[in-house]
Homo-oligomer: A and B are copies of this chain.
Amino acid sequence: MLKYALLGYLNYHDSTGYDLKHEIDQSTGMIWHAKQSQIYTTLKALEKEKLIQSHIEPGEGKPDRRVYQITEEGRIDLKRWLAEPVTELNQLKDSLLLKLFFSGSQPAADLIAQLHLQKILYQEQLTRLDELEAHVANLVQMMPDFRRDFLLWEAIRQYGVSYTRNYLNWIDSTITRLETNFED
């Protein structure tokens, strides 16, 4: 799957493993993330499959950069994947919720503290997503040819916002429930 995320980005423009990491962190990071090391190894695998090709750009003073470019086979493979419908539900994995599920014997105060900590993290995430809005809106102005792409990017960003708000609401209502029903 990371494979297709990388092909997707390289379909827009050539890039390096380093830059792709930043691009992912700032846009699809919310819905698909990867570590730097995995990006490097996946790019290497993609090149072996001839879906992308690379060349070295010497860095002046800075390290050399390996710049990847999508090939015709790569574009075909990406389009094939895009046309293929997703026929299954996405499966969540959420370790906070898993831990809470088994936390019936933990002190109520600890659980509430845990939820307060997570609340801060989700609030920060919401702020980051809000900041992204202006950025996406700006791109639409600059590149009208990509109107459809921006529309989808904005839809995904809004998914992130609603997901995060939902999480925050759930945290609040759970804190309240614990405070009122979890006494000893």
Is there contact, CB below 8 Å, between A146 and B104? yes
Quick check: B8 and A181 within 8 Å, CB to CB? no
Q: Is A182 in contact with B94, judged by CB distance below 8 angstroms?
A: no
Nearest Cβ distance between residue A183 and chain B, in whole angstroms?
A: 10
Measured between C-beta atoms, what is the minimum distance from A99 to chain B in Å?
Answer: 6
Asked if A18 is at the interface of the complex by the 8 Å CB criterion, the answer is no
The interface residues of chain B lying within 8 Å CB-to-CB of A121 are 88-89
Count of this chain's copies in the oligomeric assembly: 2
Q: Give the docked Cα–Cα distance between A93 and B105 (Å).
A: 30
The A interface is mostly helix, strand or loop, or mixed, namely helix
Report whether A89 and B122 are in contact in the complex, using a CB–CB cutoff of 8 Å: yes
Q: Is A28 an interface residue (CB 8 A)?
A: yes
Contact (Cβ within 8 A) A99 B122: no
Given A28-B98, A97-B156, A101-B28: A91 and B33 interface contact (C-beta under 8 Å): yes
| Residues of chain B with a CB closer than 8 A to A56's CB | none
B118 and A99: CB pair below 8 A?
no
Report yes or no: A90 in contact with B82, Cβ–Cβ below 8 A: no
Interface residues of A in 153-184 (CB under 8 A from B): 153, 155-156, 158-159, 162-163, 166, 169-170, 173-174, 177-178, 181-182
* Bound Cα distance from A149 to B178, whole angstroms: 11
* Chain A residues packing against B (C-beta within 8 Å): 1, 4-5, 8, 11, 27-28, 30-33, 78, 81-83, 85-106, 110, 113-114, 117-118, 121-122, 125, 146, 148-153, 155-156, 158-159, 162-163, 166, 169-170, 173-174, 177-178, 181-182
